[in-house]
Amino acid sequence: GRQAACPRGLWGAVGGGGLYRRRVGRRRREARDVRWAAQECAADAPRRVETSSSPKSSIRTDSPTLCRRCREEGLTVRARFGGLTAGLALLAWGLSSLAGAVTTADVENRIRNEISKVWKVQNLEVGVAAYSQAHSDRGLFKSVMVRADTADIAGIVVRPVYVKALDVTFDVPLMLAKDPVIRTRSRGQTDVYLVLYEQDLNEGLRRAQSVVPDLSATLAGGQITLTGTYKFVWGNRFRMSGRLAVPDGYKINFVPTAAKVNGIPIPVSGVKLLLSKLNPILDLSSVIMQPKVNSLTIEDGKLIAR
């Protein structure tokens, strides 16, 4: 047999092959480390044992052929890897505990806080239904419902507002952050219902823009009529009638079908510049879970969005 090779630098002889295996001259360095270690520890290894020439062969740290220092270094290496394993296990336990802390009550409270940042609401109700704790850990919930008697959305008051979504998946890391943000990664069927009354619309329009200080809207007969004062080539006093449209599902725009200035009919294209300053009449993109509006119904004195 060969003289037992006891690598005093155990990191260099064993770990080094793993740390530097991609470098040129790897085998030469490993052979050199083993040769030097054998020379240094020859006095501490009187017994001859058969060892493998492969640098990847395992070295028993409890072998009598190893000197005291090498045995200690071997135990140190074991302790290092043992500590790393324990640390990873502790980290995994901590993450699982954090995920398990996601409850419907937590989500409801965070949604309330998020809504309070962007809306002025009265009698806010939030309800969250879960599938199971495992689904909640991933941020998936059966349904989420938000209702308020009144809500100030972008300066215009709607009353009431109701939103319900099924199969909602939240971004859990963002929701559990120090400054939580409620963001949906996906959602199933989403229903929205809100009512905008004529008086609230007029108050909101006057606050939202300064182009037409006396802008007034009338909701009747299935259409909307806007009147006010604006400097046109043909005069100042205008009257436009038309409908409301929501092409992207969020921004409600006024689409004129007829226009008059000082009582004289003008082409609709003549009020294009004014429309660019007035639209959108209402932007619903800040509504929680961002439900899309599919239909608008104008009744006498109010607008219903679904």
109-160 confidence digits (pLDDT tens): 999 998 988 889 999 999 999 999 999 999 999 999 999 999 998 889 999 9
Question: Tens digit of pLDDT for each residue in 254-305?
Answer: 999 999 999 999 999 999 999 999 999 999 988 888 899 999 999 999 999 9
**What percent of the chain shows pLDDT beyond 70?**
67
The residue ranges of every structural domain in the chain are 10-99, 104-192, 198-305
156-158 vs 150-153, strand pairing mode: antiparallel
Q: What is the reported pLDDT for 217?
A: 97
Q: What is the reported pLDDT for 5?
A: 47
Question: Tens digit of pLDDT for each residue in 202-223?
Answer: 999 988 888 898 999 999 999 9
Mark out the alpha helices in the chain (DSSP H runs): 10, 16-19, 26-40, 68-100, 104-118, 133-137, 172-175, 198-208, 272-278
160 upstream amide cis, omega within 30 of 0? yes
List the one residue out of 198, 200, 124, 204 whose CA is nearest residue 161. 124
3 state SS of 213? coil
List the one residue out of 47, 7, 56 whose CA is nearest residue 27. 56
Tokens standing for 136? Answer: 């909640």
Q: What is the reported pLDDT for 177?
A: 84
